[in-house]
Amino acid sequence: MTATDTLAQPPTVSVIIPARNEEASLGDCVQSLVTQGGVPFEIIVVDDHSTDRTREIARSFPGVRVIEAGPLTQGWTGKNNAVTTGARQARGEWLLFTDADTVHLPGSLARAVAEAQDNNAELLSYSPEQLAVTFWERATLPIVFAELARQYPPSVVSDPASPIAAANGQFILIRRNTYDAVGGHVAVAGDILEDVALARVVKRSGRKIRFRYAPDAVRTRMYRNYRQLRDGWTKNLALLFPRPAWLAVKSFFLWVFPWTIMCLRFAGFLTDSGWQVVMVLALLFLEVRIHRANFALKLTILGALFGIPMFAYLLLRSKRAHAKGNVAWKGRTYSDKPDSHKIDSDKPAVLATGH
């Protein structure tokens, strides 16, 4: 092999998957990764003290390294502890942190490395295509992601001139040298929104980050039932939005306004035909507002009908949980001071992970 051939070799990637009781999804995730090509890589599954078949499933894939997360130290979140354990044993020039509920499309790993290099990005994060199956997934997710896209446009996040930094912990590709230089997840050990915190540390160091919606690379089903959805967004929403109570009230008003007009017209209180035009315009406004979430039209309509009240409820539930300093997730309770993890209004964030 010549020196030129050596220089042409693609960099190695260490794929790190933190997994706590992920028997329902881990197999599909690892299967989608072991078949990747175009770039040399290793896969490390960090078993975060699971009590189900997570470890057994991970070990069923030849060549996948399965390690145990270290004891959870006070002041650390479980995910930060797990990914730090994995990073310490990783050998790659790039680190890909991805969740056990993700599925990676063929060739996406090599394309992601090339995209990061082509854009001189030290950190590349993808927002996956969101799969929704149950009623409340289908109704709620379009609302949540529409609000995130409205408040934190990926183009702004990716702009080096903007102070706004964000990432999605379901897919974070970061250069190893950069990860070590900024302190990695050790630097954000206590942050519930560790993905956002890591992106902010990277961007504040003067390094470029890139963020985009990536249905061409990765998809995920974040929550598989109502309880998971409720608890996951309770953990995250009050941190993602600087004024969750106000957003809850505003969202509910935008939803109830056209239905109030409809009811009053049917009751005979609003007889002027102009009110019908107002009602239709209000409903169209809701559809346009939700459409930016990149969901199918039928799901945006479902969200407009049922998802907005649920979103408002989850915002208030999340605010209350964080105000009490009692946030529960996957058998663990994180006690924090009110607003201790909140994203400042002038330093917004995008989607937290579900781990």
Low-confidence residues in the chain, pLDDT < 70: 1-8, 335-355
Distances (CA, A) of 202 to 85, 117, 157, 173, 239: 20, 16, 12, 12, 19
Hey, what are 91's tokens?
């050998």
Nearest to 12 by CA among 33, 41, 51: 41
pLDDT in tens, 260-282: 887 887 777 777 778 778 878 87
* Per-residue pLDDT at 93: 97
pLDDT in tens, 168-227: 999 999 999 999 999 999 999 999 999 999 999 999 999 999 999 999 999 999 999 999
Query: Please, which residues bridge with residue 42 across strands?
Result: 14
Are the beta carbons of 198 and 167 closer than 8 angstroms?
Answer: yes
Q: What is the pTM of this model?
A: 0.87
Domain span including residue 64: 1-355
* Per-residue pLDDT at 152: 79
Are the beta carbons of 250 and 324 closer than 8 angstroms?
Answer: no
Number of domain units in the chain? 1
Spatial neighbors of 299 by CB under 8 A, at least 6 apart, are 132, 138, 139, 141, 142
CATH (domain of 325):
3.90.550.10
